[in-house]
Chains A and B, each alone.
Chain A
Amino acid sequence: MLISQSDVPLAPPPVSELAVRSALREAQYGRAIELTQQWVVANGVAAVPAELVPLVLGAYHASHRFDDGADFVERLADHGALTGPVAKVGATLFSEAGRLRGWGALLDRTLGDGNDPTLLLERARAHFSLQEYAAAIATCDRIPRDTSNVGVAEPYLRGAAHAGLAQWDLAEQSLRLCLERQPRHYRAMLELGRVQLRRKNIDGAIETLRRCISGRPRDRAAILLNLGQALQRAGQGEESKFVLRAFKSANAHEEKRKDLEQAVRINPSRVDVYVELAEFLVDDPAERRAAQAAIARGLELAPNSDRLLIAKGRFLRPVDISAAKDAFVAALAANVRAHDARLELAEITLSANGLQLADRFLSRCREHVDASRWNLAFTELEARRGRGYGSAVDYARRAVDADPTNLEAVLAWVDLGMAFQEVEATTKQLAVWSAADPTNPRFLIAHAVLEMERDRFQAAADLLALAMTVDPYFPPTHHFSAQLLRRQDNKTEAKVAEARATYLARVLGQ
């Protein structure tokens, strides 16, 4: 009787593979590496399943054991197992280990006269990393034309290499090809903007770089510096100043991240550096992967670090409230003085209408957390408890007083005024705050929102116009203008205003 392939019972995977996979799943990178090493000693490097190898290499990377990881890649290469996916992680490991030359040599050995597209692309990248631009281009030339999996990476690399050689025409051609294939390739967009700037196509550069910053906040410093310079050269001095100011803060942010990453690289077993890195990255939507790695590695070293557990909770909060809650609870279990965890738990419980519990959390952390945020949470608690306008409004006022730049608090003030029909008192106080801080557009915006809610569109428009004269580059002003325009059925203008709001928010890194 013939038996089909699917009838054959699958052999259970070796225990060691299960163990490695389990360790990787739990983000126990050190353990995963240790188990893999034991496995290799027992069965040889070829025994490690191909699909598992990149994951193990990822563990080397996450635990900053770059040299060991690079050694492992070399052993894999010796056994003919330097495949495309391995090469991708291998490139990072060798680069971080300071072994760029070694990586190039390894790829050359493996490639021979072959034309594996992924390996050729990695070889071209290795040349590029050493600024061997002509060699990078020559290697790109060896990649078979019909290869789809390097379809975007190859023209990008080629374009960047041509730009490095100041071959602007060829650079622009390749970068445009890359963008044709993947319109949201923001690195290519940045490179194209730079090329346009060098070619004195200033308007083109501005358009490209604006599109680039609106699309993605990564590489902000580079985008903003080039955009600021392009605006300057186009005579748009005011916006240039705004963009260059934003660049300075983006640069400070990137420098700090660089310093922290360097600190981790130098001493990968220092928990405090992981804590600082995790806290630094966790609220940045563009840095989620890096934040996750830092939290995981830190918790592997110090599973009871309350600060890392809070960071973990903050990381999980946008995607998995329940898991986030567990992390905050664990932080409190690890340290009863982890007050930030209490505030987070209070906010989570409030949103689920757990008023009593929220009250308990809030009353225990009052003196130890950000005053504006605490008062804002308490405003919500009071409002949900139906304690009346007087009580809630008192906390809302304190939230604004504690931080007049907290737009959420200012808008909460307006919400309360509307909910309790205290429009006159609300507008009066907004005017007082506005007069006390005429450079702060938030009170004008809040007033405009109030007027919008009352269908007094012209008054709202006047207030938003005033807010724009106070600070033409404050994104919420444009966002609420878009809302107003939508309410007035002016969809085209609304779209423009919303795009402007997004652009400005991206410039500011919001």
Chain B
Amino acid sequence: MKTFARDKVRSPRAGGGPLLVASFVLVVVGVLSARENSSELRFVTERPVDFVHAKGASGQRYLVETMGSGAALFDFDGDGDLDLYFVQGAPMPGAKRFDSRNCLYRNDGRGAFARLTGDHAAPDARYGMGCAVGDIDNDGDPDLFVSNYGRNSLYRNDGGRFVDITREAGVGDDAWASSAAFADFDGDGLLDLYVANYLAFTVDVHKECSLGKGIPAYCSPDAYPGVGDRMYRNLGGGKFLDVSDRVGLGKSLGKSLGVLCADFDRNGKIDVYIANDGVSNQLLMNSGDWKFEDATLVSATGYNDDGLAQAGMGVAGGDLDDDGLFDLFVTNLSSETNVLYRSLGDGFFEDATALAGVGPPSFLYTGFGTNAADFDADGDLDLFIANGHVIDNIAKFSDHQTYEQVDQVMVNIGNGRFRDDTVKSLGTQQPAAGRGSCVGDLDGDGDLDIVVTNCDSVPVVYRNQSSGVSWLAIELHGGRSNRDGVGARVRVHIGARVLERERYGGGSYLSAQDRPLYFGLGSAKSVDRVTVQWPSGTVSEVEVQGLNRCVVVEETATGAATTKPATSRPAKSDR
């Protein structure tokens, strides 16, 4: 049973260049008046799956044990609802054995999940870290990349059955990988792959570390050298070419954990931002032809205001201050604070942590997964942060830090400022060692839910209970562009206000989501028009009838303008 309201709209008007086609003019019944009309944000905590993450600890405190693992939220079977995939750890030497297969759960459309087993459920049993989702063959179903401590895996989705194509694809690198992202870096309509690698750690080079007092503790990343990230060019036919050396990634040993791919300087080419642990973050600006320039220093996105590299973990992105520019939010270790890099345009940023008010609330927490999404559907992006310290016995070294921590919601209150809404919206929480997080409308009720993975524990789902606001979800089906529309920019026009979202690749920490772009519309009763700027350069303008539904916008293969009447199903909440 399909739970989403899905209208399929082929681009009614499309131009081959940047010229916008004259818009349809609709009568605006209600104009978005965001914050004053936002509903009260409230989540309920659920544990809808029987998955339990196991870190495979042996007592030796191998660093890998405390870093994972992630999850994916995607519609693998194309039935219109979001399914779940959890990445599992594996026993480290000396640890008790357990079933280390990753777990795929099918959503029955009513919020219940059933575990799928067998080889077609992508059951990679290596020590799993994270995953990325993308339609690598443009066949309409999402494929799955799994990053491991050990060889990575790529699964092609054949109509809901996953087939391991790692060997043929040539992406089975065995460095310790963390997050990964699919994006079309060369604009050829095929999703390429960026794999963030963490440390040159193996059991053989394991070190015994401490934070003092003679008490053993997990090592800091300083204990091991970094490993160069990998970038793979999609050649089509399920084959990839490792272009890391050509791009210069081999020389850059960043200790990477989070990665987000978006067009930061708006030159039509997808750039890469990497959150690094203990060393400078990196912004690689794509200048075409597989040339990337390290713009970290000039862009001011590598260090905090004190000129110090931080322990970058996860990264979220989007227009966080409603100025039309793509900002970045990076989660860090406790005592460092998370950092918001506000875009000033043209690839320049400033540290706006203080202005945004996101520093002090994060001081006691170690952030990992993070998502910028409009949870209260008021038209601007809020922030979610999954928290949990790295060091399981941190309380022995500090009287103000704990290993298990609560997650946080920061609500956007306008002008680039945020308010810590955690207690109000998430309620009483069971603290845990939060790691990955992903966002999507799990129950098809028109608001965004959150899935959080916890190290060595059960994942939780924060089910959004907000109501009474309008929304619109737009799913992109590229034709000339990659089918997922990664790199596309969607604008929803409501009166004088324009909401803009970019379909970026990656984000968060070790986690992935294959989601439509979600627009909270507050009290708006209709939208004037929606424009889509596709990665191919095509600009489409579509008419959307009615709100509170998911609309599919298709770019035709030639980029020509065709219109197809929408087939509309009401949203679950409307039924």
On A, residues with C-beta under 8 Å from B are 67, 98-102, 130-133, 163-166, 194, 197-198, 219-226, 228-229, 232-233, 240-241, 244, 247-248, 250-251, 254-255, 259, 262, 265-267
Q: Name the contact of A130 in the complex, choosing from B211, B280, B363 (C-beta under 8 A).
A: B363
The stretch that binds A, out of B267-275, B350-358, B496-504, B533-541, is B350-358
The 3 A-B residue pairs whose C-beta atoms are closest, nearest first, are A221-B307, A98-B398, A225-B307
- Known A133-B360, A250-B307, A251-B303; judge A99-B297 contact (CB<8 A): no
Q: Is the CB–CB distance between A132 and B360 below 8 Å?
A: yes
Is the Cβ of A266 less than 8 Å from the Cβ of B210?
A: yes
The answer to whether A266 and B212 touch across the interface, beta carbons within 8 angstroms, is yes
CA distance A103 to B308 in the complex (A): 26
Q: Determine if B47 is an interface residue (Cβ-Cβ < 8 Å).
A: no
Q: Which of A100, A232, A251 has the most B CB atoms < 10 Å from its CB?
A: A251
**Pair B399/A100 contact, Cβ less than 8 Å:** yes
Interchain CA distance A267-B210 in the complex, whole Å: 8
- A sample of 6 more A-B contacts (CB under 8 A), given A225-B300, A233-B344, is A100-B398, A225-B307, A226-B305, A228-B297, A259-B222, A266-B210
Which of B306, B307, B363, B398 has the most chain A CB within a 10 Å cutoff? B307
**In the complex with contacts A67-B213, A131-B359, A164-B359, A221-B354 CB distance below 8 A:** no
Complex Cα distance, B280 from A163, in Å, reads: 24
B354 — nearest CB in chain A belongs to which residue?
A166
Report the Cα distance A194→B359, complex, angstroms: 16
Interface membership of B348, Cβ < 8 A: yes
- Please report the C-alpha to C-alpha distance between residue A100 and residue B305 in the assembled complex, in whole angstroms: 23
B400 touches A166 (CB 8 A): no
Is there contact, CB below 8 Å, between A222 and B305? yes
Question: B354 to A265, Cβ gap below 8 A?
Answer: no
Asked if A98 contacts B359 (CB within 8 A), the reply is: no
Given A101-B399, A166-B354: A244 touches B297 (CB 8 Å cut-off): yes
Q: Could you tell me the distance between the alpha carbons of A462 and B209 in the complex, rounded to whole angstroms?
A: 59
A99 to B400, CA, bound (A): 7
Can you name the residue of chain A whose Cβ is closest to the Cβ of B217? Answer: A266
* List of A residues within 8 angstroms of B364 by Cβ: 130
B354 near A164 (CB under 8 angstroms)? yes
Contact B211 A194 (CB under 8 A): no
Rounded to whole angstroms, the CA-CA distance of A100 and B400 in the bound complex is 7
A78 to B398, CA, bound (A): 22
**In the assembled complex, B337 has its CB within 8 A of some CB on chain A:** yes
Q: Is chain A's interface secondary structure helix, strand, loop, or mixed overall?
A: helix
Q: Chain B residues near A251 (CB, 8 Å)?
A: 280, 303, 307-309
Across-interface contacts of A222 in B (CB, < 8 A) = 305-308
Nearest to B401 among chain A residues (CB) is A98
Question: Residues of B within 8 Å of A, CB-based: how many?
Answer: 32
Q: How far is the CA of A262 from the CA of B280 in the complex (A)?
A: 19
Contact between A198 and B337, CB atoms less than 8 A apart: no
CB-defined A-B contacts under 8 Å, sample of 27: A67-B213, A98-B397, A100-B400, A101-B399, A131-B337, A131-B359, A163-B354, A165-B354, A166-B357, A194-B305, A197-B350, A198-B354, A221-B306, A222-B308, A225-B300, A226-B305, A229-B300, A229-B350, A232-B298, A233-B344, A233-B348, A244-B297, A247-B307, A251-B308, A259-B222, A266-B211, A267-B210
Q: List residues of chain A with CB within 8 A of the CB of B344.
A: 233
Q: Give chain A residues whose Cβ lies under 8 Å from the Cβ of B298.
A: 232, 240-241, 244
Residues of chain B with a CB closer than 8 A to A247's CB: 297, 307
Shortest CB-to-CB span from A196 to chain B, Å, is 12
Contacts of B212 in A (CB 8 A): 265-267
Q: In whole Å, how far is A135's beta carbon from the nearest beta carbon of chain B?
A: 10
In chain B between 288 and 327, which residues have their CB closer than 8 angstroms to a CB of chain A? 297-298, 300, 303, 305-309
Give the chain B neighbours of A229 by CB distance below 8 A: 300, 350
| Min CB gap A377→B, angstroms | 37
Residue from the list A198, A220, A240 in contact with B355, Cβ < 8 A: A198
Report chain A residues within 8 Å CB of B360: 131-133, 164
Query: What residues of chain B lie closer than 8 Å to A99, measured between beta carbons?
Result: 398-399
A191 closest partner in B (C-beta): B305
A131 surroundings in chain B (CB, below 8 A): 337, 359-360, 363
A130–B400 contact, CB under 8 A? yes
> In the complex, which residues 435-469 of chain B have their Cβ closer than 8 Å to any Cβ of chain A?
none
Q: Which residue of chain B lies nearest to A99 when distances are taken between CB atoms in the complex?
A: B399
Interface centre among B297, B303, B344, B398 (most CB of A within 10 A): B297
Chain A residues near B359 (CB, 8 Å)?
A: 131, 164
A354 CB to nearest chain B CB (Å)? 45
Docked CA distance A369–B96 (Å): 55
| A265 CB → nearest B CB, Å | 6
Task: Name the CB-closest residue of A to B300.
Answer: A229
The answer, among A101, A198, A265, for a CB contact under 8 Å with B400, is: A101
Contacts of A267 in B (CB 8 A): 210, 212
Chain B: minimal CB distance from A442 (Å)? 27
Q: Within B456-507, which residues are at the interface with A (CB < 8 Å)?
A: none
Q: Which residues of A contact B355 (CB under 8 A)?
A: 166, 198
- Alpha-carbon distance A266/B298, docked complex (angstroms): 35
From the candidates A163, A198, A241, A266, name the one contacting B350 in the complex (CB within 8 A): A198
A254 contacts B307, C-beta separation under 8 Å:
yes
Alpha-carbon gap, A219 to B363, bound state (A): 22
A219-B308 Cα distance, complex, nearest whole Å: 10
Distance of A67 Cα from B214 Cα, bound (Å): 12
- In chain B, positions 338-395 with a C-beta closer than 8 Å to chain A are 344, 348, 350, 354-355, 357, 359-360, 363-364
* Nearest-neighbor residue (CB-CB) of B398 within chain A: A98
A61 to chain B, nearest CB (A): 14
Contact A232 B307 (CB under 8 A): no
Q: How far is B478's CA from A466's CA once the two chains are assembled, in angstroms?
A: 57
Residue of A nearest to B210 (CB): A266
- Chain A CB within 10 A, most for which of B303, B309, B354, B363: B354
Contact residues in A for B305 (Cβ distance below 8 Å): 194, 222, 225-226
A267–B398 alpha-carbon span in the complex (Å) = 17
CA distance A403 to B280 in the complex (A): 31
Chain B positions within 8 Å of A232 at CB level? 298, 300, 348
**B362 — nearest CB in chain A belongs to which residue?**
A131
List chain B residues, Cβ under 8 A from A165: 354, 357
Distance in angstroms from B296 CB to nearest chain A CB is: 10
B518-569 contacts to A, CB under 8 A, are none
| Cα-based distance from A255 to B255 in the complex (angstroms) | 15
B401 to chain A, nearest CB (A): 8
Q: Write the nearest CB–CB distance from B211 to chain A, whole angstroms.
A: 6
Residues on A with beta carbons closer than 8 Å to the beta carbon of B297: 228, 244, 247-248
Q: Which residues of B contact A98 (CB under 8 A)?
A: 397-401
| Residues of B contacting A102 in the complex (Cβ-Cβ under 8 angstroms) | 399
Q: A101-B399, A254-B308 are in contact. Are A225 and B222 (CB under 8 A)?
A: no
Q: How far is the CA of A244 from the CA of B348 in the complex (A)?
A: 14
The CA-CA distance from A76 to B356 in the complex, in Å, is: 41
Residues on A with beta carbons closer than 8 Å to the beta carbon of B309: 251, 255
CB nearest neighbor in B for A132: B360
User: How near does chain A come to B344, taking the closest CB pair, in angstroms?
Assistant: 8
Q: With a CB–CB cut-off of 8 A, which chain A residues contact B350?
A: 197-198, 229
* Residue numbers in B under 8 Å from A101 (CB-CB): 399-400
Question: How long is the Cα–Cα vector from A102 to B398 in the complex, in angstroms?
Answer: 10
CA distance A385 to B399 in the complex (A): 66
Of B209, B305, B360, B397, most buried by chain A (CB within 10 Å of CB) is: B305
Q: Please, which residues of chain B bring their CB within 8 A of the CB of A240?
A: 298
Residues of chain A within 8 A of B280, CB atoms compared: 251
A402 to chain B, nearest CB (A): 29
CA distance A371 to B213 in the complex (A): 44
Contacts of A132 in B (CB 8 A): 360
A67 to B297, CA, bound (A): 39
- Set of chain B residues within 8 Å of A221, measured between Cβ atoms: 303, 306-308
Query: What is the CA–CA distance of A265 and B337 in the complex, to the nearest angstrom?
Result: 22
- Find the A residue at minimum CB distance from B303: A225
Which residues on A sit within 8 Å (CB–CB) of B398?
A: 98-100
Q: Which residues of A contact B397 (CB under 8 A)?
A: 98
Task: Kindly list chain B residues whose C-beta atoms are within 8 Å of the C-beta of A197.
Answer: 350
Among residues of B, the one whose C-beta sits closest to the C-beta of A163 is B354
